[in-house]
A and B are shown apart, each in its own frame.
Chain A
Amino acid sequence: MVKQESESANRPDNTAFTQQRLPAWQPILSAGIVIPGFVLIGLAFIGIGVALLVTSRSIQVLELDYTGDSNGSPCSSCSQSDIANCKCSLNFTLTTLFQGPVFFYYGLSNYFQNYRRYGASKDDNQLYGDLSSFTSPSSSCSPYNYDSSKKPIVPCGSIANSMFNDTFTLTRTVSGTTNNVTLDGKGIAWWTDYNIKYRNPSVTPLKNAFNGTVKPINWAKPAYELDASDRSNNGFVNQDFLVWMRRAALPNFRKLYRRIDASGDYQKGLPAGNYTIDITYNYPVRAFNGAKKIVFSNVSWMGGSNEFLGIAYLVIGSLCVVMSVVMLIVYAKFKFPDEE
């Protein structure tokens, strides 16, 4: 026995793997699978498409442009001047109830938050509360890392510097009296951004952490004073700041500004009536042919209104069904030519 082993010392192992005989399934695209498969997938897609489209149609969206391009539009004067905190207001009327919960967005067009260098112009360590990055911001923030007197800018970089700084208040006029609609700014940013990704340095008061630094050039107030009403909404975890810092994927985008606080009259949403939005117009967009919008929308299980996906599902689903018929015909013709 031993001798035999030594005689065939070089004998390869006889296993299914080494002999390439692993048990296997050799699938074939047979007509019996493909054609019914296409029909089923087609029907499923049509179903999804219909559901998406119906849902999307049921969502109410109100979009108001306030760029002020054209003379006569409410904000045209503001858009043409460089005055800080220029005020203008926008009126709109709801004839029916705007089903709640209602979300209040601002929208920018032709705005390239996805530009590479713009996107890289921030210091993640700084935004994570690393104090050493306060004193020497990353060079990726250049030219917004130091001001002209060589003082470090916090938060540094283009994104922070270009933070959207228009502010809005919404009022409703009911039989002559104007009352404010309460806007809720809590939790408009991602939970993870607020709790994990961005962090203030653990210095109290927060102001001290910013000693020796300057605010971004375009900002009116330093980061630690962004929200005077809520101390916890300051620094890098300010909700508006977080929303802005989450770069949009495409040049036309919306960002959540506020939620309509569902209390009192507004429990069910925005009731019918006349509304006014008072705008503090600061953010210049006309230079680059941009546009600014205010959008009210409610959401469904699929989010906001977008008919694209529903239509795409319907088209693809129908195509699947059509193709399954075509395949059936071709298959019949080529496999059973005698019967023709």
Chain B
Amino acid sequence: MMRMCTSWTGRNAGLNVTWKVKANDRPYHQLPEFKKKVFLCIKKSKYSGNAIKTYKYNFLTFLPLNLYEQFRRVANVYFLALLILQIIPEISTLPWYTTLIPLVIVLGITAIKDLVDDLARHRMDNEINNRKSEVLLNGRFQEAKWREIQVGDVVRLKKNDFIPADLLLLSSSNPNSLCYVETAELDGETNLKFRMGLRVTDERLQEDHQLADFNALIECEEPNNRLDKFTGMMLWDRERYPLELDNMLLRGCKIRNTDWCHGLVIFAGGDTKIMKNGGKTRFKRTKIDELMNYMVYTIFALLILVSAGLAIGHTYWYEAIGTKAWYLFDGKDQTPGYRGFLSFWGYIIVLNTMVPISLYVSVEVIRLGQSKFINWDLQMYFAEKDTPAKARTTTLNEELGQIQYIFSDKTGTLTQNIMQFKKCTIAGLIKPFSILCQLVDWSWNRYADKKFQFIDHSLVAHVRSKKDKDAMEFFKLLSLCHTVMVEHKDDDLVYQAASPDEGALVTAARNFGYVFLSRTQDTMTIREMDQEMTYEMLALLDFNSDRKRMSIILKFPDGRIRLYCKGADTVIYERLSPSSKHKETTQTALDVFANETLRTLCLCYKDISAEEFEAWSRRHKEAQVTMNDREAALDAVYEQIENNLMLIGATAIEDKLQDGVPETIAKLAKADIKIWVLTGDKKETAENIGYSCSLLTDDMEIHYGDDVNEKLTRRQASRRDDPQAYRRGKKKTAEPFFPGSNKNALIITGGWLIDFVDMACECEAVICCRVTPKQKANVVSLVKKYKKAVTLSIGDGANDVNMIKTADIGVGISGQEGMQAVMSSDYAFAQFRYLQRLLLVHGRWSYIRMCKFLRFFFFKNFAFTLVHFWYSFFNGYSSQITFEDWFITLYNLAYSSLPVLLVGLLDQDVNDRLSLKFPKLYIPGQQGTLFNYKNFFISLFHGIFVSLIIFFIPYGAFLQTMGQDGEAPSDYQSFAVVAASSLIFIVNLQISLDTSYWTFVNCFAVLGSIAIYFGVMFDIHSAGIHVIFPSVFTFTGVASNALRQPYLWLTIILTVGISLLPVICIQFLSKTIWPSVGDKKYEMELKEDDDKKKPAPFQRGRRSRRSAYAFSHAQGYADLIASGQSFRRRPRAHGGPQESIREIPRREAENI
């Protein structure tokens, strides 16, 4: 023992073992040596409490923090600065309230939204922190809230409890302190794992008083996020014991099949591995957001340039004319230069409407509306679980129309995680032969699992008739050759399988009358129809990923020795006896199964003579004690006996996909979206699912991680040889990894991630197996970083939280048990298949609408603002506004925003049916062709053009004229009204032209906006309001005076005509000459669809055959069974031969 410990300390000498936990000693952890500086002199224990905190604000910090967050937005700072400028009377060219009111509204809306979000987080935290657990306090177990648990506490957990913190397993109700846990929340695997307490704690810490006296000191590594690693040491009674991950119960897991267990808290709260694994909540922004920000910067630059130009103009003008114009004397002794400087700021204020504050509010409103449409969508509502889709983040909708990469979890997302025994072939005959809609009634079998569904009555009858020896042997094999553990619970059998596949097979056998009842270390008891049989188990040749098979050697009650084997067809066929029958027929059946993407296993047996077994058994025992490379030695020995097998048949298991998954994936692939599956599962399982959900197709060439390594090394070598070529730019030198235009698929394992992005992105499909949550997130961020692509992650479990948070868009599958994925997701719905509607319909619409909205919004504000610019040339660059100030205040608010807002909410270029039918319509979004700098500049030039027209047509008309009745209408106020009216007509008619989906609401909005404009104008220009506020509303009578002149109406009509007609003309011509992508695709797709209707020829490629021996990560439970540790002598629940025959306490496990 001591030798071992020294070696252990030696091994870990380099490790930083500074985390010390003392059992049942709370004050110990408050010692000064464990304090760390938090803030100035305030020190806190480095051990976190068990309360978790995911919220951002509390009562006091909300206002300052939230304002701080909001003012990190450039736009808000800009408007604040503008507000300050407007307060300075020298340069205030617009009243201050034109900025303050919108700013307050914007900040207020955002703050309320944040508050609601944070309250939800508070509630969630509270719910978790207030969960109850039993904690050992003052010598006895008391119920305590999770938040009160501290490091060093001993807690007792019961069956199905969630583990409150990272615990060291001390003892449990099971023999050898075995404890089963479900780690689904951590890694998404639903099969049970076992954890084992140390022998010493198992022996000495069973009773409460023993636990109360427990005073060991644990030394281990500092908290970290490695889920697969833990090293530590327990010092107890001057003895040292090594600790490993196998001794740990991690927070987030669930206790299963264990009545109770005791654990010592090592890491609590934020120190736990699951919390350390949680990525930081990130403020997500869309590409368009970024682009919009850059455009706003561009506009700033433009604004400053224009203002500076006009300020210089003012300086010169003032020098040349202003100083001489006695009537302009203002008593201020300011140099023209200084006046120019003031004019600069004045123009910044006047022209600020180029970046209207309402842009941000409107964008938020549109996104909110689109989120609502997602929530309301009946076609994304899952009636079975009464779960509608939910847009949890309302700011990302248009990004849904730009997705390039989807990262999907497998278990629970693509699949339902239900394995079903679907079909089988026995002695070359495929069963079921007939499909009946009525489910088989299992009432004849009292052990039958009620949930098991099978639809072939004939097979059942066949088996029950006991005529078919092959069929009997088939199910007998299934009931015997496995590593499933059984538990008797209230007269019911509960199987614990290392993998769901195996569970499905044993359950199938059970329902067909071959019920696996119990096992001991070396016997197995089954019920064959109505007769219980106990077999002596001579050897268990467990599965591993090289062998791809497992065997069991049994001694029958009559003394025969028989080996049963099940495994992947490839390995089984190599080992079949030449005399084995049904090879060809089974082969055909396997191909049929494979074509249906079922997972297959071949079953076979071999009779072994006693002598032969004796000889083999000796070699086996030798191999078992080999010191070096025991595994290889064992494999070699297994190889010797697993030959000359006789084929019985094959099973076909369906890893049940969620509805519509293959169709969805095919559709998304057509939309040029690349789909990566990231799963903690084995390679084989993942590949299998890849095929069944049509992510992988038979015309793809599969590259595994190992080939990839080769390719990469080659790439790196060539890069070394030709460094100059590399410097020329990555894109050009990086010749494709896979020459030829074949479709490629890539399956890689966890360790190989970092250098692969380029290569992986060349592939149609990528599957990453055995990746941890952190690695999942890493894959996502790699692609994000190097490909600058828009990514979406979809998952259902806590193990997906990281990638969901990392991706640009996270989607959670709701309606499942765990809610963590949903809680950290941006969108949540119940079924994977809704993804196509979310992306191809809602995403696409949102993107198109948002782009249209932004293009138009920029246009309408350029057209509006730049009129001031043109007017400057005629008013001495004096920052005189062209329009009435009330018009400026209300323009974006009331006169022009509603129609464009409705376009942003309701517009549809094609309806949802067509969007789904032609996924290619999605591509413009990915390429971002609808809104980019090109579009921005088009909007800018369109705006410049229209503003030019709006100014110069009235200018020409006003230059020398008088009114109908001789009064001069060429006054400033009439001019302002004419220009404003033209602008309103142009903007509202232009949006009408751009609207492609005219509903009565749009119509109402356009007419309404114009009506509101005139209504408000006539009100503001009325006598009544002037009487009340003579100095605020100074345009009294202008509207009525100006607009009764036909001449001015003709001016307005001409202005509107010149602004709109060229646009119509250009649109028509470009549509005729360059038909839109949508139109072209439409035609192409129609042809393509016709081609595809021909059924694919039946393929018999071996590659497409998938083995179900893709079991779990680890081997089966063979070691556990062999060691006998899980069997105990205890009062029998069922009499009879299930009695464990012997139990050898071999407790070397922790000493190895």
Contact = CB atoms under 8 A, between A and B. Distances in A.
Nearest to A12: B376
Contacts of B879: 116
A304 B962 contact: yes
Contact of B327 (A118, A130, A196): A118
Contacts of B377: 12, 18-19
B331 interface: yes
B119 interface: no
B1058 interface: yes
Among B381, B967, B972, max chain A CB count under 10 A is at: B967
Contacts of A271: none
Given A303-B961, A309-B956, A192 B971 contact: no
B874 interface: yes
A249 B908 CA distance: 44
Interface in B860-913: 874-876, 878-881, 906, 908, 912
Contacts of B388: 10-12
A: contact size bracket: 35 or more
A289 interface: yes
Contacts of A31: 1068, 1072
B: contact size bracket: 35 or more
A87 interface: no
Given A41-B1061, A247-B972, A303-B1047, A192 B1037 contact: yes
Interface in A171-214: 188-193, 196-197
Interface string B975-1007: 110000000000000000001111111000000
B335 to A, nearest CB: 16
Interface string A8-40: 111111100011101111110101001000100
B1086 interface: no
Interface string B992-1034: 0001111111000000000000000000000100110011001
A130 to B, nearest CB: 7
B254 to A, nearest CB: 27
A234 interface: no
A124 B1035 CA distance: 11
Interface string B1044-1080: 0111001100100110010011011101110000000
Given A29-B1068, A41-B1057, A301 B964 contact: yes
A18 B375 CA distance: 9
B387 interface: yes
Contacts of B64: none
Contacts of A289: 321, 324
Given A103-B966, A192-B1036, A11 B383 contact: yes
Interface stretch (A64-72, A89-97, A106-114, A272-280): A106-114
A142 interface: yes
B1025 to A, nearest CB: 10
Interface string A44-64: 010010001000000000000
Nearest to A309: B957
Contacts of A261: none
A247 B584 CA distance: 102
A265 interface: no
Given A304-B961, A308-B959, A309-B957, A20 B874 contact: no
B1050 A52 contact: yes
B283 interface: no
Interface stretch (A73-81, A225-233, A312-320): A312-320
Contact of A123 (B966, B967, B1031, B1037): B1031
A48 to B, nearest CB: 7
A196 B961 contact: no
Contact of B326 (A193, A197, A284): A284
Contact of A113 (B322, B330, B972, B1023): B972
A188 B961 contact: no
B962 A330 contact: no
Nearest to A13: B376
A331 B1072 CA distance: 6
Contacts of B1023: 192, 196
Interface in A275-299: 284, 287-289, 297, 299
Contacts of B973: 246-247
A14 B388 CA distance: 13
B100 to A, nearest CB: 20
A216 to B, nearest CB: 12
B386 interface: yes
B896 to A, nearest CB: 20
Contact of A299 (B328, B957, B963, B974): B963
Contact of B1054 (A302, A312, A335): A312
Contacts of B999: 22-25
Interface string B919-959: 00000000000000000000000000000000001011111
Interface in A113-134: 113-119, 121, 123-125, 127-128, 130
A16 B327 CA distance: 64
A38 B971 CA distance: 34
Contact of B962 (A52, A162, A254): A254
B377 to A, nearest CB: 7
Contact of B967 (A20, A189, A249, A305): A189
A105 B968 CA distance: 9
Contacts of A247: 971-973
A309 B1058 CA distance: 12
Given A11-B381, A112-B321, A330 B967 contact: no
A288 B328 CA distance: 11
B773 interface: no
Among A14, A161, A197, max chain B CB count under 10 A is at: A197
Contacts of A29: 1064, 1067-1068, 1071
A143 B333 CA distance: 11
B444 interface: no
Contact of B880 (A10, A114, A288, A327): A114
B1072 A334 contact: yes
B968 A253 contact: yes
Among B373, B880, B881, B974, max chain A CB count under 10 A is at: B880
B1041 A192 contact: yes
B416 interface: no
A323 B328 contact: no
Given A196-B1026, A323-B1065, A334-B1073, 11 more contacts: A7-B386, A18-B378, A23-B1000, A105-B968, A112-B876, A115-B328, A130-B1030, A143-B329, A249-B958, A251-B876, A304-B963
28 contacts: A8-B386, A10-B381, A12-B377, A22-B1000, A23-B999, A26-B997, A29-B1068, A29-B1071, A52-B1050, A105-B962, A111-B325, A114-B876, A114-B880, A115-B325, A115-B876, A116-B878, A119-B880, A125-B1031, A127-B1030, A143-B329, A158-B329, A189-B967, A246-B973, A254-B960, A302-B1046, A303-B961, A305-B961, A316-B1061
Interface of B: 93, 321-322, 324-332, 346, 373, 375-378, 381, 383, 386-388, 845, 874-876, 878-881, 906, 908, 912, 953, 955-976, 995-1001, 1023, 1026-1027, 1030-1031, 1034, 1036-1037, 1040-1041, 1045-1047, 1050-1051, 1054, 1057-1058, 1061, 1064-1065, 1067-1069, 1071-1073
A-B interface, 9 closest residue pairs, ranked by CB to CB distance from nearest: A192-B1037, A143-B331, A162-B327, A304-B962, A249-B975, A124-B1031, A18-B376, A128-B1030, A308-B956
